[in-house]
Structure formats: C-alpha cells, structure tokens
Amino acid sequence: MSKFLEVELTPNQYGGGSFNCKAGFRLDNLASSFQNIDVKIDTGCSISTIPVKKLKVSDRICRSLKEADINNNVISVRSYGIETGGVFHPEPITKRQKMRREALKFQHTISDMKIDGVDIPVSNIFS
C-alpha cells in the first residue's frame, strides 16, 4: 500500500497560495521534540529547511546554536530566494561573517518526521 500526502492549497489575496500543514519531528541540536508545528511546503525550494526561529526559540538560544554549529564546522549552505530578496551573498569566511549572515543554514539530523500524520523518511534537514 502506498502512502501519500495530500495538502490543499491555501489561496492568498494575490492569486497564488501556499501548502500549509502540521508536522512533528526531533532535531539533533535541540533537546525537545516538536509536535503540531505549522510548516509550509515550498515546492520551489531546492533544500528542506526548518528555521529554528519559527520554533519560537529565543534569539539568545538561536545565536548560541549558530555559534556552536560554526565552531563545530557543521555543514552549511547559503539560502537564496524570497528570504534574501534574490540577492547573491558571497561565501562567508570568518566566524564573524558567518554569525552575521542571516541566510546561512546548517545541516542537522532529523528523526521521527511526520507531516499531517504521514511518516517522512528523511534523515537530514537544514535549520
């Protein structure tokens, strides 16, 4: 039997819309698991991301997690698209440049991922 995810388009006032649903998961860099988190499925994004800030984590903890990822040489990518205004950002080299770069995402292990109750077999995600 096949499993699939069917998500209805939520229209917006401009004629487009988004695919919104609920997710549950556990990230390796955070102690708690997350349930019933609002997520948006972005069909135009080339990598999957879960912004830690959207999980209602404080700015102080977000900075601490980012610094730990930089110090531990966690794999990172630069984001492009709507969140960066489509502007190219050069590769950050120094720790200070990396800390200042808002569109820098770090690869983490994700487990127990479910979207609208459907198990999603993914092991890595960027946050």
pLDDT, one tens digit per residue, over 43-82 is 777 788 888 988 888 999 999 999 999 999 999 988 765 5
- pLDDT at 12 (0 to 100): 87
Lookup: tokens for 112 = 């127990």
Mean pLDDT, range 2-24, rounded to an integer:
87
**Across 114-119, average pLDDT:** 90
- Is 38 strand, coil or helix? strand
> What pLDDT sits at residue 81?
59
Beta bridge partners of 103: none
The CA distances from residue 31 to 27, 56, 59, in Å, are 8, 14, 17
The CA-atom distances, in angstroms, between 44 and each of 51, 62, 92, 113 are 17, 26, 25, 21
Residue 24 to residues 4, 11, 94, 100, Cα–Cα distance (Å): 16, 24, 34, 29
Q: What's the whole-model pTM score? A: 0.81
